[in-house]
Amino acid sequence: MINHSTKSTIVSNNTKFAFIFDMDGVLVDNMHMHARSWVEVFMDLGLEGMDSDRYLRESAGMKGLDVLRHFLDPDISETDADRLSELKDFLYRVMYRETMCPMPGLESFLDHAASQNIALGVGTGAGERNIAYTLGIPGLRDRFSAVVGSHQVQHGKPHPETFLRVAEMLDADPANCIVFEDALPGIEAANRAGMQAVALTTTNPAEVMSQCSGLLDVVADFTAITPDIIIEKLCGTCNSRSGESIQKKPCKNI
């Protein structure tokens, strides 16, 4: 079992660190339910050759509008996309209502981060209703000082706007922010925001996620890591580059 009792000397200095979490597939292990919901919608619309694996591989973490333009119609209007996205989200909430819970180890991880005065935020491609639905469950309620969803940005992931806006709301330098992500567009967004990331393997296997640059770690959940370890890895990487800015190559969808 991980010992959380030791106060980190790294976090106790004057540097303000922030942890920015994607929501779906990171705070809760629910991406398979999102995938099933999208597949049901696409099947009803007559789209052939669509399955959960393809959705997760090509578009996990994207805004609903971008998902629909990727798979269904590149010219779909925002009004039609909003209507279909809401239908998909309704299916998701119905299917997942009875089983949703925080990712293993997450509550202890958040408790420890808060005790170290690490700022906590969420940057997600989900809409307002799904954010309220997920962050309202026991264990996640009132945990985060800044939350940015798809309804608050012009460009979804892999554009860096979501994560940069969370950093701004937390008053944190992007270089001192660590993103926790499960999806390739999200890792790319972190790269492009100048942030390093921890990849979770809830959506893509470790061998896929480990190919991405700008990663501090690849983990199954939060049971095997502590905030201290992650901050130390960030600082170690910065020191190894002699204070120079880290050049990251975006992790593209593969």
> How confident is the model over 125-152, as pLDDT tens digits?
998 989 999 999 989 999 999 999 999 9
Say whether pLDDT at 246 is over 60. Answer: no
Task: Give the CATH fold of the 31-96 domain.
Answer: DNA polymerase; domain 1 (1.10.150)
| Domain boundary assignment for the chain | 18-30+103-240, 31-96
Whether 174 and 246 have beta carbons less than 8 Å apart is answered as no
CATH, domain range 18-30+103-240: 3.40.50.1000
The DSSP H or E segment spanning 71 is helix 64-71
pTM over 0.75: yes
Q: What share of the chain is helix, strand, coil (3-state, %, to 5)?
A: 45, 10, 45
Partners of 181 in the beta sheet?
Answer: 199
79 to 48, 65, 132: CA distances (angstroms)? 23, 9, 22
Say whether pLDDT at 247 is over 80. Answer: no
Which residues lie closer than 8 Å to 250 by C-beta, 6 or more apart? 158, 188, 191, 192, 213
> How confident is the model over 74-122, as pLDDT tens digits?
999 999 999 999 999 999 889 888 888 999 999 999 999 999 999 999 9
